[in-house]
């Protein structure tokens, strides 16, 4: 049983079980309130699922792509929760969950997943379809582009406002059950943060 957390777009928290599926999923679409709501959403997801922390086997973190400020809230929360619970952190690329949700709902064929990167840019990942387990196969990306410069214009496109944490968790469950590797524990910001370190104090002259 896994707790899954994603803040790469909106904020989404879920509890999933390999056999029972998604037990709970709580979502906040406001992209400016990640830090305010993450603790409450984690508590609500566990409560709705009727699951105690000791019953969890791991914590899934959506690794993006996502804007620096929002994405790091979810990753930090997942790592802190995993550390406190004494459970492993399981990294999963966030766009995979969006693609998995679309394919699980009957879509077939290549797909382009797009999320807002702010600064009038978009994150994107292209998928060629699914494997024998129904998991999405990445064709290209993740990448960052201006809206008019998005690649693969011939693909079916889905613009996601939130990443479904339930699907994120089920990807991790399927990979673990079938001995497949997880994604790297590396946040996919794809660009530098908005705030840069100071170059030092400015010289003052009279």
Average pLDDT, the chain: 93
**pLDDT classification of 51: cutoffs 50, 70, 90:** very high
What value does the CA radius of gyration of the chain take, rounded to a whole number of Å?
18
What mean pLDDT comes out for the span 154-161?
97
pLDDT tens-digit readout, 55-71: 999 999 999 999 998 99
According to CATH, the topology of domain 2-177 is Nucleotidyltransferase; domain 5 (3.30.420)
pLDDT tens-digit readout, 112-154: 999 999 999 999 999 999 999 999 999 999 999 999 999 999 9
Residue 82 CA to residue 76 CA, distance in Å, equals 10
With a cut of 50, say whether residue 157 has pLDDT above it: yes
What's CA 159's distance to the chain center, in Å? 14
**pLDDT classification of 19: cutoffs 50, 70, 90:** very high
Predicted confidence at residue 132, as pLDDT, reads 96
pLDDT tens-digit readout, 78-102: 999 999 999 999 999 999 999 999 9
**Contact call for residues 94 and 62 (beta carbons, < 8 A):** yes
**pLDDT classification of 201: cutoffs 50, 70, 90:** low
Predicted confidence at residue 30, as pLDDT, reads 84
Interhelix angle 165-177/94-104, nearest 10 degrees: 90
Q: What angle do CA 146, 117, 147 make, to 5 degrees?
A: 20
User: Could you state, in order of their start, the residue ranges of all structural domains in the chain?
Assistant: 2-177
Predicted confidence at residue 195, as pLDDT, reads 46
**pLDDT classification of 205: cutoffs 50, 70, 90:** low
152 Ramachandran zone, left/alpha/beta (phi>0; psi -120 to 50): left
């Amino acid at each position: 049983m896994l707790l899954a957390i994603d803040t790469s777009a909106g904020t989404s928290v879920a509890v999933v079980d390999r056999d029972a599926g998604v037990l709970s999923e709580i979502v906040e679409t406001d992209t400016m309130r990640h830090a305010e709501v993450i603790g409450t959403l984690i508590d609500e997801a566990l409560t709705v699922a009727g699951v105690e922390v000791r019953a969890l086997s791991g914590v899934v973190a959506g690794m993006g792509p996502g804007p620096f400020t929002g994405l790091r809230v979810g990753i930090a929360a997942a790592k802190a929760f995993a550390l406190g619970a004494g459970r492993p952190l399981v990294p999963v690329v966030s766009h995979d969950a969006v693609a998995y949700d679309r394919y699980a709902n009957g879509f077939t064929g290549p797909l382009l997943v797009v999320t807002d990167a702010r600064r009038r840019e978009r994150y994107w990942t292209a998928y060629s379809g699914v494997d024998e387990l129904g998991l999405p196969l990445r064709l290209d990306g993740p990448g960052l582009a201006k809206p008019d410069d998005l690649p693969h214009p011939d693909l079916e496109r889905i613009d996601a406002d939130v990443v479904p944490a339930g699907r994120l968790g089920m990807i991790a469950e399927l990979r673990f059950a079938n001995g497949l590797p997880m994604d790297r524990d590396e946040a996919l910001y794809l660009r530098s943060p908005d705030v840069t370190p100071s170059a030092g104090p400015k010289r003052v002259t009279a």
